[in-house]
Amino acid sequence: MSQLITEAWYVAAWSSEVGETPLARTICGKPIAMFRSGGEVIALHDACAHRQYPLSAGRVVDGHIRCGYHGFEYGVDGVCTRVPGQDEIPGNTRVDTYRVIERSGWIWIWPGNPERADPNAIPAVPWLNNPDWDGVRFTRRYECSSGLLHDNLLDLTHEAFLHEASIGDEAVYTNGITVEVTSTSVIVDRFMPDCHPSDLYVKAMGVQAPMDRWHTTDFHLPSLHVIHCGVGKPDAPRDEGYHLEVLNGITPETATSCWYFYANVRDFAQGDESINDMMRESLKQVLEEDKVALEMQQQVLSAGHAGGPDRLIAQDAGVAKARRLLRQMAAAEGADRT
Ligand code: FES
Ligand SMILES: [Fe+2]
């Protein structure tokens, strides 16, 4: 299994998850305590320099985080500012800090060397926190590698089988894909002309067959898939259809578990809570079906029971390209380290 890529931006949390009460989250194998100080999100290594008690089990006092065990306090730069009972603070008493940026309702983290973190490299998600786009959100933790979830989103033919009852039908696999690779992303486009628009879309949009459908997965390596989905009248321009943006922030927790920050937002039926309720129920089921499948796959792999290398097919063109690029990113990071 390839090593985790830490020199990258990942979604660490929703803005609403982080307040003055510290939040503990493991990202790329690193335990991290996140909290707000003066409104700013701070991320520190989640182990006190005194005796490794998790700082996330402490509390924020006057903008500093106080360890809940013996009361050491740390500022936003990770430097210890107070040791109860003595004036002198032992030299270099500090914890590591992580670079974090808050944008459009997501908190992004750079788990690697903070000096390499370029905020301009964070993908834009203009559909989040945008009143023109209404929808539903979920946070999930899957006990599978982030790579299995990347594969899942780059090959959506699984919708026809795993999600047969909601979003899938044969149009997904009877139509092929085109793949484009840029310097930062792999883009997989599937166009499905003159087909049934899937049961979920029939309910959400009130449309009837035949319709044109499309989904374009824009994978910003290594952490975010934006799936531009749409349904429109046959032969009409895509701009004129119904649009959904499916945002999938995927963040390794460990080599065999990951965080999944998911939003499904649409540019129609805004403010219609009955549509939101229906989408929430249906997509909750979809995410559960993915979780069960991916965790079973991980169990096969972790047990060493894979029967051989994966046999990729034409529909896996995006999977193959993304895997190659992810391997290159991991190798480049490994080479830098040594
Ligand atoms: S472990 Fe944190 S103050 Fe002792
Ligand atoms: Fe799925």
- Residue 307 gets which letter from DSSP? -
pLDDT at 89 over 80: yes
Pairing type for strands 177-181 and 30-37 reads unpaired
Q: Would the CB of 48 count as within 6 Å of ligand 1?
A: yes
Q: How far apart are the first and last CA of the chain?
A: 18
Query: In this prediction, what percent of the chain has a pLDDT beyond 90?
Result: 91
Architecture of domain 134-337: Alpha-Beta Complex (3.90)
Which ligand 1 atom lies nearest to the CA of residue 48?
2
pLDDT tens digits for 243-276?
999 999 999 999 999 999 999 999 999 999 999 9
The token pair that represents 142 in the structure block: 């899957």
pLDDT bracket for residue 330 (50, 70, 90): very high
Closest residue by Cα to residue 75 from 29, 51, 44: 44
pLDDT bracket for residue 209 (50, 70, 90): confident
Residue type present at position 245: E
The token pair that represents 269 in the structure block: 């039926």
Centre of ligand 1 from the C-alpha of residue 83, in Å = 9
Do residues 329 and 221 make contact, with C-beta atoms less than 8 angstroms apart? yes
pLDDT bracket for residue 39 (50, 70, 90): very high
Please report the pLDDT score of residue 1 as a whole number: 45
pLDDT at 12 over 70: yes
Please report the pLDDT score of residue 337 as a whole number: 76
**Helix or strand or coil: residue 159?**
helix
Q: Would the CB of 233 count as within 6 Å of ligand 1?
A: no
* Ranges of each domain in the chain: 10-121, 134-337
Average per-residue pLDDT for the chain:
95
Residue having the nearest C-alpha atom to atom 1 of ligand 1? 51
pLDDT bracket for residue 2 (50, 70, 90): low
Please report the pLDDT score of residue 27 as a whole number: 98
**Strands lying side by side in the sheet with 177-181:** 134-142, 257-266, 242-254, 224-232, 211-220, 185-195, 177-181
CATH number of 10-121: 2.102.10.10
Centre of ligand 2 from the C-alpha of residue 101, in Å = 29
Give CA–CA dist 67/76, Å, rounded.
14
Give CA–CA dist 234/297, Å, rounded.
38
Centre of ligand 1 from the C-alpha of residue 82, in Å = 11
